[in-house]
A = this chain, B = another copy of it.
Amino acid sequence: MAGTDHGRLDTGAGGGPQPAIVLVEPQLGENIGACARAMLNCGLTDMRLVSPRDGWPNPKAEAMAAGALEVLERARVYSTTAEACADLTYVLATTARPRGVTKEALVPRAAAARLHARIGAGQPAGVLFGPERAGLVNEDITLADAVITVPLNPGFSSLNLAQAVLLVGYEWFQGGDDTPDVHLMGDGPPAPVETREFFFSRLETELEDAGFFYPEHLGPTMKRNLRTLFTRAGMTDQEVQSLHGVIKALTGKRRRAP
């Protein structure tokens, strides 16, 4: 009964309990190594192997895993899927096609939400991935509580093993990640309105001196359009300073002209 006495709720690179990734009869060591990388990308470290074709450990897996050796070193080997899942209370099976088995089918995002709910409640969970070509057999799908199907181009939907692991792991990671959808990346803080207004007044004064606002009745609109453009850019303090320099340089140039 391997699998029942350890690793009940692994704490890995993700910093908390996480789903087990169960590779059923994986064939190529390279693919196992690539899965280890994809797992670690997503903070997952509980790899379980059911009857890997070329035995275990596998030097080709290690060569491909590169910086994710820690995942391979912790990997455990089982002879059946049921043994690999013995301690899990919620199991999802990845499969491309229905096979006469009536199950709930979840998209990866919904699957990740279920996994977070289960694991957050202290219930060990895992995801099954089948062999490279054939995919999971019906017996393994039957063992699972529900299946995961990835919506992809129906004319070309086959993913390699590591990519399937990556997509499921990616959704798991996003489900626990608090990166805002959009944020300002970079050094400087955005310029406050006072700083922008000072720049706009200076720009408009210089442009008035240069006779830019012509015909005069369009002046207000032309000013508004320029303010809109610069405001939309979301200038930083540093950038406003640069623009002051630009005005200075350009007006100096103009004044130097004959």
Residues of A within 8 A of B (CB): 13-14, 37-38, 40-43, 67-68, 98, 100-107, 109-110, 147, 149-153, 155-159, 162-163, 166-167, 170, 173-174, 177, 179-188, 234, 236, 239
Contacts and interface: CB of A to CB of B under 8 A. Distances in A.
Nearest to A150: B170
Given A41-B159, A167-B166, A182-B110, A102 B188 contact: yes
Given A174-B151, A179-B107, A156 B239 contact: no
A133 to B, nearest CB: 12
Contacts of A43: 152-153
A173 B187 contact: no
Contacts of A184: 102-105
Nearest to A186: B102
A163 B42 CA distance: 12
13 contacts: A13-B155, A40-B153, A40-B156, A41-B153, A100-B186, A103-B185, A104-B183, A106-B182, A149-B185, A151-B174, A163-B163, A167-B167, A170-B170
